[in-house]
Amino acid sequence: MKAIQFTSILFGIAILLVATAPINHLGAQEGRAFSAEFLDDLIEDEPSVREAKNYIARLSERDRNRAANHIAGKIYPESNLTEPFARMLCALPPWTTGIPETDDAHQAGIWSVMRKKSKHYTRLFLYLDCAAANRRGFYYDEIVGSFKDLNKRYCEGDIDRGTVSEQNAALEKKLVRTDGAIERGLDGPGAQSYIPIRNSLRRAMLAAELGVLEFQNSPEDGKRLFLTAAKFLEKRNTKDYLTRARNGWRFHSDLSVLSAFYRALSGDQDALDLLESYADWKAVRDDDVIKDSVEPDVKENMPEGYVDTVFLERLLPGAASSSDDECKRWRRRNYSTRGFAKHAHGCLKIDSSTLTALDNCMAKYVATDWYIQFRSFKKGNGRESAEFAKDLIAKALMDIPGNLEDVSGALGVVEKGDYFVVRTESKFSTDQIEEFKKLIGDRFGVIVYGRPRQY
């Protein structure tokens, strides 16, 4: 019996030594208890955020909650630890301490730091905004995921028209709850979160979804809902809010053009005329509403005459005549503000007899600013090499069966940072690019199909 007891004691001491031994690398922590000191070392060393994420992922659920509690508590009051720990909380899967009241307190603490900020474009403010929104059951967990699911259901044809209103109301309730919490948390004259602006686009889309549904039975009821969609967008489209909100200036074109589209769809002739005028949307540097709120480094690098784009997700959910067409029309892509306004005005003038006809017309609008990038050469003697490569690529393209003359003729050499790049002009449509991909294949190795940089 004593031998057994002695062996048990030795085993217990061994376990204690392992549990309390210094931790020198990540592998030693797998399956072990949470160590605040070890986690602090990882987070404060910026390149190790991924390693810290992996470490936390290996913990038990209880210890993951302890880790989230520890990280969130380091963010406020503000100190030199605020930014790296906010960055970490942002990088995690949606976080929780396991206790709703504690989550509330941490979220409020993060917002208390944000309220003191006047500059919305700093990296710190971005991480704080993200960390507060990344709470479990909040923006990234509930809102973003719910709208991805909505997109998926439409693509799969899994939409029960009889339950659209109920599901729509549930999503609207989540948006209202999220925006209300952020507005209360950041109440004041300082910098603001971008999330309520982004959510206004989602609320407009939900109103449009109901508008499409109601329009079938009562066009007037449908039009009232399209007007509601416009009002959701207009609420955030003020100089005061856009100039204080993170990424606010980037939403001015979206809020303006889309609200004019929905107002015009509701029967407002003035809005139709306004939409037509947006075909000459101002360049960012000339836009009195937002030009003074652009980040200094972005403004410095922004080309003269740069016009911000408009982000399209789904203008008229449920208006397509087939599930295949419906899926294709969930775009989630940026487009030329001027080009979209011009096209939308034309469709509303010509093809608004039914929503399906309007939707079919709007579907014809595609991006026409794609380029194809073939090679890049480091500056120095790179210009000569790039010009030589351009000539070879142009000749090779002409030898490929198919219609690639436009690609060959559009080739040039441009400077891009520290490189000379062989690429075409930005002149091709989405449909053309899909055809070019089939023809070119992998003949030239890695090829980049891209569009001009968005600022």
> Tell me, what amino acid is at 214?
E
What SS3 string covers 124-165?
HHHHHHHHHHCECCCHHHHHHHHHHHHHHHHHCCCCCHHHHH
Query: What tokens appear for 94 in the block?
Result: 């949606």
Q: What is the pLDDT along the chain (455 residues), one digit of tens a residue?
A: 333 333 333 233 232 222 333 333 333 344 457 888 888 888 877 657 888 889 999 999 999 999 999 999 999 999 999 999 999 999 999 999 999 999 999 999 999 999 999 999 999 999 999 999 999 999 999 999 999 999 999 988 888 878 899 999 999 999 999 999 999 999 999 999 999 999 999 999 999 999 999 998 999 999 999 999 999 999 999 999 999 999 999 999 999 999 999 999 999 999 999 999 999 999 999 999 999 999 999 999 899 999 999 999 999 999 999 989 999 999 888 999 999 999 999 999 986 678 999 999 999 999 999 999 999 999 988 899 999 999 999 999 999 998 899 999 999 999 988 999 999 999 999 999 999 999 998 889 889 999 988 88
Amino acid of residue 368: T
The two three-digit tokens of residue 65, written as one number: 């909650």
CA atoms within 13 A on the CB side of 392: 11
Give the C-alpha separation, 241 to 252, whole Å: 10
**Taking the CB of residue 163, how many other CB atoms lie within 10 A of it?**
10
Cα 209 from Cα 214, distance rounded (Å): 9
Strands 419-424 and 411-416 turn out to be antiparallel
Cα–Cα–Cα angle for 294, 114, 43, rounded to 5 degrees: 100
Domain boundaries, the chain: 25-133, 185-363, 371-450
